[in-house]
Structure 1
Amino acid sequence: MLRITPLTIVFILMQLSFQAHAQKKKKKRIAMEQSPKQELIYDNINYLNAIKTVQLSPTGKENQLPIYTLGDADLLVLSFDDLRADVRDYYYSIEHCNADWTPSRLSALDYAEGYNEDRIVDFKQSQGSMIPYTHYKTIFPNEYVKPKVAGNFLLKIYEDADKERLILSRKFYVLKPLVVVENQILSSSFTDKRLSNQKLNITLKTGLTISNPHQDIQLHVMQNQRSDNMMILRTPMFIGTGEIKYNNSETLDFAANNEFRYVDLRSFKGGSAQIRQIDIDSLVNIELFTDQDNRDNTYATTYDENGKFYVRNLDYDNADIGGDYANVDFSLLTTQKVTGDIYVVGGYNNYQRTPNNKLEYDAATEKWIVRQRLKQGLYDYEYVLETEDGKVITDAFSGSHFQTGNDYQILVYYRRTGTYWDELLGFGQISINNKENKN
């Protein structure tokens, strides 16, 4: 017969207590800090430094302007990385905006079908990268989020269905194609700019009855999808039956700039011609060769992607989750007296000028330097100068040449008489002097 003594009972109770505590400890979850609340900005914004490599474009048309045509089968795809490397509940919704990217007076019931909110359910964690991250991806419009009017829209991504906990916002466009855009590019009408500028003439053709084109129509013309180099035109030169012409000799005259500088970061093992040094420790640190001030140089044919960037990886498969991040040091050498701020910009940061991509002068090397955290891939970039009075000079360190390859995007907005919002009814694009790409 088993004899149970008081000591045995105490021992059994201690064992049960220990096991219960261990199980409770094992089930305890580590609290994950939520993304902080942010004030919405109607622009392409990453609200957190941990959000990187944001891409938004039509499916199957990488790096093209994110335009969705009402009723079309082609959708838009959004992807981004979160360097916090955990798994979070991200939601998204859309908001209709005016042509100038201020919020329109339309309600969500007027501009969207469905719930106007959906959760991002496609996510994968990085594989083998020194900097871990989670890669998120979603495709829309869908049954939950779908625009039903034309115009400018802002896509908002936020955490835990809390619209104040924003992590990023992106502009996209919804087109109702009722206007045909015809265009041509010429050299500048100004004698002193013929070697440096590219001028557009635009003709709109439509069956719409537009009572006052001067007031109801506006053109937004971008060079290489960049809003910091955009011209807005309201006054046509000729109005005919079903035809409106914008061919004033003094309008839509763009500085052609120069070909973008570029860096090949597809391999952190083999490097590339633009990389001076690679140091791999707990992180990958890359120093690029110093860029020279090309303002006074003659034009030289080089290949670029007109400011775009591409996620690519020569070291491992699947660039989306196999690509790693590196700290990349850019530097610029110039003898100019700089009065203002210098920024490195490109499609990878939406040409935004923020403290993160502002160059600082290093007295020891007499260079302007900045560090960027970039994913493996191909990157076009350039240096721009923002003067003390806020003017942005895009060719300050590159010069401007008519021979430069550029893409132009033309957006046609129409505000119908008696309405209070802008519709996007026409889109056109034209390229000049583009060379075979390197991608």
Structure 2
Amino acid sequence: MKRYIFLLLVFITLRSIAQKALVYDDMVYRPEIKSVQFSVVGKESSFPVINLRSGEQVMLAFDDLRGNTRNYNYTIEHCDAEWNSSNLSPSQYLQSFNEDRLTEYRYSSATRQKYVHYELVLPNQTIAPKIAGNYLLKVYENSDQDNPIITRRLYVLGNRVSTFAEIIPSPNTALRETNQKINFTLDYAGLNVQNPYTDLRTFIMQNARPETRTLSNKPSQIRGTQLVYNDVTTNDFPGGNEFRHFDTRSLLTNSERIGHIYRDTVNTVILLTDYNRDKPGYTFEYDNDGKFFINTQDSRDARTEADYAHVYFNLATNKTIRDGTPYIVGQFNNWRIDANSKLRYDGGRFYTDLFLKQGVYDYAYVWVDTVNNPDYTLLEGNHFETENDYQLLVYYRPVGARWDELVGYRLLNNGLNKR
């Protein structure tokens, strides 16, 4: 009996260690899960926002490198504007069932790295949102939500607010050469707004990066049903620089930024050395605003025939390990500054290798000093001319309501409306 109790305690302990605490953000909870993509169907790598009951859908795609199929389930949960659970019953925000099994998968073909490719399209006949707002898509194993595999943020829009926005140089003369200022106006004529200072909140992100998210809830002016946000001290973003990039669509021939490709039992790609780009002048360079695209020129179907490679990054800078550490970030790793994105130091250079599927990748370096302060422009530079996407999201919660609705959305790029 004592042995049974001991084994049971060991099992419970190991299970609790294996489980990961759920985070209401874009997360991957297992190292074997790779190449997670989540975007609007037909718009690869796009921001995952869809109109409620419009027929628009988003697709989740990912690879499991363990090579055999798993019992994956999924659901979505309504969240407030701050990405906390709304604590609603699923019947209040889902039209039909609470969860479903992920059944669409295919095995890799003729690749050195074996994997299973999964896909999921939402909304579908089983899982569909009933109300507008933020939703967290949760994929988990064996119907156990305490065993998450992937989480992704989904934005469901009930378009009830008109928006106008523009990008201008910073009104602060010291920042005019580096910063991009967002001014915008909301028209809430279609809503019953009693207090515009509390009923409406607007968030702005640069290139869908969570760390850039800013809140605007105090309009500078009110003109009838129009709220004007143009305070000189708010929504003033560093422009940064165009993203670095590399192309591994072919592992047979070198492309731009590729130094060497080695094909043996595993694929290895050595990128050309990167250098500090903190220069006073701006140089245009085409990029994808931090996104990545899975693709291959070596076969037909990138979903199951694109291979994986160890991609080696080398950064030459006048900084040393005594000053801090650089990290590599992009949409491909959810902009995470963690152990997986940290570069190692060796004899005057920083380096790392990442196991990535064939495709086109944008990336940037973030410098983190010895007291853990991240600097996003120290290694990359900072220019007003840099081309960036900005996502503007408007949330509405009337007095007495229990949840926030997403009632307005606009995508900006260099002052042009792209939606």
Query: TM tier, shorter chain?
Result: over 0.9
- Pairs within 5 Å for 1:232-247: 232-247=215-230
- Pairs within 5 Å for 1:243-322: 243-322=226-305
Shift of 1:167: 0.9
2: CA distance, partners of 1:70 / 1:55: 21
Kindly provide the CA deviation profile for residues 174-225 of structure 1, in whole angstroms up to 9, marking residues without a partner as x. 1111011110110000001111111110100121231211122211101111
Give the structure with higher Rg (CA).
Answer: 1
Of 189, 202, 208, the match for 1:225:
208
Of 336, 342, 346, the match for 2:330:
346
Aligned residues of 2:32 and 2:65 also touching (Cα < 8 A): yes
Kindly provide the CA deviation profile for residues 305-363 of structure 1, in whole angstroms up to 9, marking residues without a partner as x. 11111011011110110100001111111113664432100111111112111112112
Of 316, 327, 348, the match for 1:333:
316
**Residue identity opposite 1:184 in structure 2:** E
**Residue identity opposite 2:384 in structure 1:** F
2: CA distance, partners of 1:433 / 1:427: 15
Secondary structure in structure 1 of the residue aligned to 2:337: coil
**Residue identity opposite 1:422 in structure 2:** D
Aligned residues of 2:192 and 2:398 also touching (Cα < 8 A): no
2: CA distance, partners of 1:412 / 1:294: 35
Supply the RMSD in Å over aligned alpha carbons.
Answer: 1.7
Unaligned 5+ runs, structure 2: 1-14
Shift of 1:102: 1.3
1:414 aligns with 2:396: yes
Aligned residues of 2:166 and 2:415 also touching (Cα < 8 A): no
Structure 2-normalised TM-score? 0.92
**Residue identity opposite 2:358 in structure 1:** Q
Shift of 1:389: 4.7
Q: Give the aligned partner of residue 7 of structure 1.
A: none
Unaligned 5+ runs, structure 1: 1-32, 435-439
Aligned residues of 1:403 and 1:433 also touching (Cα < 8 A): no
Kindly provide the CA deviation profile for residues 402-436 of structure 1, in whole angstroms up to 9, marking residues without a partner as x. 111111110001111011321111001110189xx
Q: Give the aligned partner of residue 21 of structure 1.
A: none
Shift of 1:390: 4.5
Of 70, 77, 102, the match for 1:95:
77
Shift of 1:267: 0.6
Q: Give the aligned partner of residue 82 of structure 1.
A: 64
Q: Give the aligned partner of residue 377 of structure 1.
A: 359
Kindly provide the CA deviation profile for residues 268-293 of structure 1, in whole angstroms up to 9, marking residues without a partner as x. 10121211111221101111111000
Shift of 1:112: 1.3
Of 302, 307, 313, the match for 1:324:
307
Q: How many residues matched? A: 399
Aligned residues of 2:394 and 2:409 also touching (Cα < 8 A): yes
2: CA distance, partners of 1:297 / 1:334: 16
More displaced stretch, 293-302 vs 74-83: 293-302
1: CA distance, partners of 2:111 / 2:157: 40
Aligned residues of 1:116 and 1:146 also touching (Cα < 8 A): no
Structure 1-normalised TM-score? 0.88
Q: Give the aligned partner of residue 147 of structure 1.
A: 129
Of 350, 360, 365, the match for 2:344:
360
Secondary structure in structure 1 of the residue aligned to 2:210: strand
1:137 aligns with 2:115: no
Kindly provide the CA deviation profile for residues 115-172 of structure 1, in whole angstroms up to 9, marking residues without a partner as x. 1211111110001100000000011112211111111111000112121221111111
Secondary structure in structure 2 of the residue aligned to 1:110: helix
Of 171, 174, 182, the match for 1:192:
174
Change (3 A) 1:151 1:406: same
Aligned residues of 2:170 and 2:179 also touching (Cα < 8 A): yes
**Residue identity opposite 2:118 in structure 1:** Y
**Residue identity opposite 2:19 in structure 1:** K
